[in-house]
Structure 1
Amino acid sequence: MEHRPGRRRGIAAIVLLVLGAVILGGVTVAKTVDPPARYTEGRQAGWTMTPTYTNGESIYLEPVAKGKLRRGDVVLASVPWSLQKTQMNRVVAVGGDRIRYKPSSKVAGQYRLVLNGAPLDEPYLEDWKHPSGVAFDVTVPKGYVFLMADHRMNSDGSQYPNNGPVPVGKVTAKVVSYPMAKLAVWGQLAGALVMLIGAALAGVARRARGRARAAAATAAPAAPAVAASVPAPAAPAVAASVPAPSGGEAQAPVAPGGRADVSS
């Protein structure tokens, strides 16, 4: 198959243009159908959430949709045990859950909280050996959440009897690793950038084809020269006939070196 200049670039340009259009269009449609929540930026105060969040670390906060709190979510809530207006904690149990702990007993070889009869896996804890400084056994009421910080030995929480579960309405924001609104903007920018690269590549391919056509036109061979005509060879000369002498007989030809016989 003959290789055409700029063909590969042209194919790559089409692929990039289509890909960029899909990304840009998909993110735009998704934002229109389900607009991402607005977010704010803040900073963690204190060491109660280490090692997940350290003091002074930047955090992103999104509004909490009704009924969207799940176990494991990190939230900002107005809690009775904090001197500040709000404090960062983790949702360990939700309404209807039974959460309990006994410091004197191990579960599955380690000290674990027990959630609804099963050991609770908490890889985010500062110290696996001490998931709580006190024993408790609480069934969380509907409309409440059970909050605990990640640094259990250096924080307060719902595990203490004078605190208990917190009403869902006291949760003011949800802490996210990266806000969807920001991801959507980056997605749109990425789609637009891919399309720009595709358009630039298409222009390069078009110029390459133009240069190839110009070069082909310049290098076209000239019309072949007409061969010069060669004159035909001259006709062989015809031997002149010798007339016989008048009134006499024709003489016989004389052989080389001999004599001619003459009749008497």
Structure 2
Amino acid sequence: MTDTPTKTDPKPAHRSGFGAAAREFVLIVVGALIVSSILRAFVGQMFIIPSESMENTLLVGDRVVVEKLTDVKRGDVVVFEDPGGWLGPEESGQKRGSIGRFFEIVGLLPDSSHGHLIKRLIGMPGDKVACCDSKGRLLVNGQPLDETKYLYPGDAPSQMEFQVTVPAGRIFVMGDHRSASGDSRVHLQDLDANGGNQGDAAFVPLDKVTGRAIAIVWPAGRWSKLGVPDTFKAVPAPGPAPNKPSISLTPPPK
């Protein structure tokens, strides 16, 4: 006498199908997060404008795309990490919670700009930047800039007189809303807490630069590209960049 095998009910096909679909969905999501994180780290990311210092080129709340693949140049709008003591509450950006920060890191939310600033790059290493000539124009390597296309209406190029030579590995930056911008000019007399020279903090290290802003993408009605104004094309090439900045709080010869 033989035992009759006990029949077992097969698992419903739809359960195994659901499990496979769930695993595939998880893999897709994880893959997308990895790709997004890589793009954010090496290609570009989005930032929210936190302050008025770049009006009217950029308004508070604008979303800008910052690309990281090409070198920055004179005239670019650049995003950079706080080089030390620049940020006040109005420019530091609102820090998100842990969940929001996670989505920033993987590139699914625009960066809240906490710890970053955005300004226009005026002087490259070796450039001589001065304010101002007899017509009140900013000078770069002796060439006056026509800033009417981006300077905030009613603002002077600078109310502060100065002559500087930008040191090696650093840049000199200014906001387009000069009267509301805590930029390189403001820090020309700062004392370096780390034992450096007075005014060193005015010049942003190139390794602190995140990238150049290339477009406003939100709000939709403000979509536009961000490029280098034509006036910077006439600026002569810089001389050799010194190891230390040269700073004088006097106007250039008229």
TM-score by structure 2 length? Answer: 0.50
Q: Which has the higher strand share?
A: 2
Higher helix share: 1
Report which of the two structures shows the higher radius of gyration computed on alpha carbons. Answer: 1
TM-score (norm 1): 0.48
